[in-house]
């Protein structure tokens, strides 16, 4: 018995040593929801045109990107059945072996693009929170998958289902779990993260697919929610509306990209209306429009950034993003005018997708062909350093052009974790792996 205890202690100390200096990716777009990968000692370029996998495990369809925390990987998927079910999986990060999995009945109705769940699992303080495409919300004990509480948000809040289902990734601020669901008089809902009890509900807006975030404004925390009708600043503790900016949808709600915050300004970009830059104000508490550029309002020789699945980013005096056809664009922060465009990162097509992840002075680009690109984006242009294949496109997410890989990857423990509609893979990106 004593030897067994010593062996277990040695194993845990080995795991701790292995993960020393490593960083989790515990929620949508990383630790700070800003698409930044802070780890160092990462390879400079790939040694071949195919990235070796550390492991691969079979999964079913879904748009949700994986998340990684405390040595475990979380991902959700969907089985068409019968019966139709959604699943939440927890895997060992080093081996891909299943730690636990939860399956529940879930019949998709009232929306298109039915490949599977959209929202990434959020992990915090030993709990894992999942939100399904029909509004099933669970809080699990992250280590063993036991259900601590659950809510059927569709039934309880009379969700007016958006065209592409419930997609906005949950957010936690202090002890409140915040979800955008588009319920009747409850577009955004705050729940006690420990019990699931309602703390507040706000707005009668349609839901969008854009994940909310919290910013510091005039000495207070402000929840920024981009709904189907407007951009709203709420008190994350009680849901009180602090300010709003009218930004109604055209044709249908299509806001997918996460709002971007650089500490001074808020950036929003979507396929129909282009890119909008706001500056928060202190007295009165609100926002001021700096500029709004869309291609329909510009001379024919000028361009605008219209993002779809991809979230742009701000770096100093410039904005970088991929538009709804997969064209990389650089804009001047001062006025939104285009500095350059580049069409080499992914074949140009309708809905073509590139996810941009910053890591030091480099940007990692994961495109819809399943390629991972190491590059640099500057006001001078896009420089591709290295490119290799990580995943094959699959057809569940989009039955066009041989399929796509639209799910956002996770970067943790100097590895990349990515999925399509058939498998979840892990690959080593440490400098020693070159």
pLDDT exceeds cutoff 60 at 3: no
Q: Is residue 169 one of the residues assigned to a domain? A: no
pLDDT at residue 2 is higher than 90: no
Q: Which domain holds residue 381?
A: 35-58+257-434
- What is the domain count for the chain? 1
Exposure string over 117-144, b if 16+ CB within 10 A, otherwise e? bbbbbbbeeebbbbbbbbbbbbbbebee
Mean pLDDT of 367-377: 98
Q: What is the mean pLDDT of residues 91-108?
A: 98
Residue 184 gets which letter from DSSP?
A: T
Is the pLDDT at 15 greater than 60? The verdict is no
Q: Is the pLDDT score of 20 beyond 80?
A: no
| 250: in domain | no
Q: What backbone phi and psi angles, to 5 degrees, belong to 268? A: -135, 140
What is the per-residue pLDDT for 1? Answer: 40
- pLDDT for res 56: 98
Span 56-67, average pLDDT: 98
How far is residue 106's CA from residue 137's CA, in Å, rounded to a whole number? 12
Mean pLDDT computed over 51-78: 98
User: Which pLDDT value is given to residue 4?
Assistant: 40
Residue 111 lies in a domain: no
CATH number of the domain residue 264 falls in: 2.40.128.630
Residue with token string 């080093």: 94
Examine the pLDDT at 12 and tell me if it is beyond 60: no
pTM: 0.94
On whether residue 310 sits in a domain, the answer given is: yes
Residue 177 lies in a domain: no
Residue 433: band (very low, low, confident or very high) from pLDDT cuts 50, 70, 90: low
**The pair of three-digit structure tokens given for residue 405, joined into one six-digit string:** 């890989």
Q: Is 15 within a domain?
A: no
CA distance 120 to 68: 10
Q: Please report whether residue 432 resides in a domain.
A: yes
Residues 57, 426 contacting (CB under 8 angstroms) = no
Residues 382-400, mean pLDDT to the nearest whole number: 97
Mean pLDDT rounded to a whole number for the chain: 94
Q: Give the distance, in angstroms, between the CA of residue 364 and the centroid of all CA atoms in the same chain.
A: 15
Per-residue confidence band for 22, with pLDDT thresholds at 50, 70 and 90 = confident
Give the position of tokens 């242009």. 381
The per-residue pLDDT for 434 is: 63
**Residue 251 placed within a domain:** no
Going by C-alpha positions, the residue among 183, 71, 74, 205 that lies closest to residue 134 is: 183
């Amino acid at each position: 018995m004593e030897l067994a205890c010593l062996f277990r202690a040695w194993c845990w100390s080995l795991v701790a040593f292995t993960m020393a200096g490593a960083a989790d990716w515990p929620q949508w777009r990383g630790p700070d929801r800003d698409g930044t990968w802070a780890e160092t000692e990462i390879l400079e370029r790939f040694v071949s045109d195919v990235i070796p996998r550390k492991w691969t495990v079979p999964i079913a369809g879904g748009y949700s990107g994986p998340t990684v925390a405390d040595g475990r990987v979380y991902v959700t998927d969907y089985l068409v059945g019968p019966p139709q079910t959604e699943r939440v999986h927890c895997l060992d990060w080093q081996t891909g072996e299943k730690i636990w999995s939860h399956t529940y009945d879930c019949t998709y109705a009232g929306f298109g693009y039915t490949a599977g769940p959209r929202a990434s699992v959020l992990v915090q303080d030993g709990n894992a929170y999942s939100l399904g495409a029909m509004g099933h919300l669970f809080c699990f004990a992250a280590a063993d998958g036991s259900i601590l509480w659950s809510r059927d948000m569709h039934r309880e809040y009379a969700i007016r289902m958006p065209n592409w289902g419930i997609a906005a990734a949950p957010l936690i601020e202090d002890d409140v779990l915040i979800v955008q669901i588009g319920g009747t008089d409850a577009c955004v809902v705050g729940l006690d993260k420990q019990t699931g009890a309602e703390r507040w509900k706000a707005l009668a807006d349609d839901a969008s697919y854009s994940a909310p975030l919290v910013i510091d404004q005039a000495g207070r925390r402000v929840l920024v929610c981009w709904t189907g009708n407007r951009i709203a600043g709420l008190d994350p503790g009680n849901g009180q509306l602090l300010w709003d900016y009218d930004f109604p949808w055209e044709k249908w709600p299509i806001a997918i990209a996460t709002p971007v915050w650089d500490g001074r300004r808020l950036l929003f970009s979507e396929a129909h209306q282009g890119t909008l830059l706001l500056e928060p104000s202190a007295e009165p508490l609100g926002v001021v429009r700096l500029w709004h550029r869309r291609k329909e309002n510009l001379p024919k020789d000028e361009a605008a950034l219209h993002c779809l699945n991809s979230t742009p980013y701000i770096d100093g005096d410039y904005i970088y993003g991929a538009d709804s056809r997969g064209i990389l664009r650089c804009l001047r922060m001062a006025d939104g005018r285009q500095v350059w465009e580049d069409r080499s990162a992914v074949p140009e097509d309708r809905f073509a997708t590139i996810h941009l992840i910053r890591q030091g002075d480099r940007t990692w680009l994961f495109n819809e062909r399943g390629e991972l690109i190491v590059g640099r984006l500057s006001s001078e242009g896009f420089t591709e350093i290295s490119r290799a294949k990580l995943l094959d496109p699959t057809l569940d997410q989009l039955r066009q052009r041989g399929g796509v890989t639209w799910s956002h990857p996770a970067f943790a423990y100097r590895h990349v974790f990515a999925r399509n509609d058939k498998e979840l893979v892990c690959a080593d990106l440490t400098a020693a792996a070159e």
